[in-house]
Amino acid sequence: MFAYILRRILYIVPIALGVTLLVFALVHIAPGDPLNAVVGPDAPAEVVEQLRRSYGFDQPLPVQYVIYLGHVLSGDLGQSVATGRPVIADLGRALGNTLILSVGAAIVGFTSGILLGALAGWHRGGFIDRLATLLTLIGVSVPHYWLGMVLVIVMAVELNLLPAMGMAPGGATGWGFTGAHLAHAVLPVLTMSVIPMGIVARSVRATVAEVLQQEFVQALRAKGLGRGPVLRHVVRNVAPTVVSVLGLQFGYLLGGSILIETVFSWPGTGFLLNEAIFKRDLPLLQGTILMLGLFFVLLNLLVDIAQAALDPRMRRS
């Protein structure tokens, strides 16, 4: 097990390097000259040339990459072209804000999804199954920006129960565990939890149904185990698959949702990405994508380790 974990950790080094390479290439893949966002189109040629040298764009690409990697490793993601602030500071704040939404959405979406899926799988073909399948189908099909707007119209505009946008009263951006802050998080969290709920419920249902069909479940009954102990065996067998789905879904949630964060004016990573794209703020875009990519890699590592801990068959390879 220990050797397995060590090997998995070693594996992520080339993957992480690949992520940095892709993010680095972004500057050159994106159409147009990256300097266009910094200087106007009618800037004199010598100014552009000087900037090109100061940004290091005159160096060969491999050299540029090594320099970039060095900066990244020392925690320097550059400065935002639009604001001049260090990317890492803005990114940190946005990640924190998105984390609030994604953890909330994970708690709501995962618990309801697991519950719904388990019930449906256990009663496969019955009424509960059909009801749960309908709910999850709606969950994965409904466009969530639309759902967000409907929730805003109903809960905030018509009923005036919950705030419609922002993180705190009066457009403040700090977070605190006060009633007002929590009230602001309710609608975006609910909206965000719908898709993971549907996806988790579907895969839990399929996995539970598949495990229940296996002969060992009958064999467990044949040795005299009652409902409870059999259920425990089923849970242990379902867990590895579900953990991997949860990990993946949490990764998506961490990326924030451009649409949801825009609808609710939530200053998270999705909001930040949106801004960076529209302002052609390449350093900000690079930093955000890099960070989200590395989070994904890290989450996958955790999922792999959790799976190996739960399923002895995984530890071999």
Partner 1 sequence: MPDQTQSAPLLSVSGLTVSFKTERGTASAINGVDFDLKRGEVLCLLGESGSGKSVTLRALMRLLPERRSRIAGKVLLNGEDVYAVPERRMEKLRGKAISMVFQEPMLALDPVYTIGHQIAETIVRHEGIAFADAERRALDLLERVQIPSAKRRLKAYPHEMSGGMRQRAMIALALSCNPALLLADEPTTALDATVQMQILLLLRQLQAELDMAVILVTHDIGVAAETADRVAVMYAGRFVELGTARQVLKDPQHPYTAGLLASTVHGNMRGHALEAIPGAPPDLTNLPSGCAYAPRCPHADAHCTAAPPSETWLEPGRMARCVRARVPAAAPV
CB of 216 to partner 1, least distance (A): 5
Q: For partner 1, which is the closer residue by CB, 157 or 316?
A: 316
Instruction: Determine the 3-state secondary structure of 78 from DSSP.
Output: coil
Q: For partner 1, which is the closer residue by CB, 277 or 306?
A: 306
CB of 203 to partner 1, least distance (A): 18
CB of 121 to partner 1, least distance (A): 15
Q: For partner 1, which is the closer residue by CB, 173 or 214?
A: 214
Burial 52-62 (b: 16+ CB within 10 A, else e): eeeeebeeeee
CB of 129 to partner 1, least distance (A): 13
Binding site for partner 1 (CB under 8 A): 214-216, 218-226, 229, 233, 236-237, 240, 310-313, 316
For tokens 């749960």, name the residue. Answer: 132
Instruction: Determine the 3-state secondary structure of 172 from DSSP.
Output: coil
- φ/ψ of 81, rounded to 5, equals -65, -35
Burial 102-141 (b: 16+ CB within 10 A, else e): bebbbebbbebbbebbbbbbbbeeeeebeebbebbeebee
CB of 308 to partner 1, least distance (A): 11
Q: For partner 1, which is the closer residue by CB, 225 or 277?
A: 225
Which residues are registered as beta bridge partners of 86? Answer: 79
CB of 226 to partner 1, least distance (A): 5
* DSSP state for residue 125 in the 8-state scheme: T
Q: For partner 1, which is the closer residue by CB, 141 or 214?
A: 214
CB of 133 to partner 1, least distance (A): 19
Closest CA to 187 of 95, 289, 257, 287: 257
What count of other Cβ atoms lies within 10 Å of the Cβ of residue 172?
13
**Residue 166 falls in which region: left (phi positive, over 0), alpha (psi -120 to 50) or beta:** left
Q: For partner 1, which is the closer residue by CB, 75 or 228?
A: 228
Alpha-carbon distance of 285 to 45, in angstroms, equals 26
Tokens of 143: 């466009």
Q: For partner 1, which is the closer residue by CB, 199 or 246?
A: 246
Length of the chain: 317
Identify whether the C-beta of residue 281 lies closer than 8 Å to the C-beta of residue 30: no
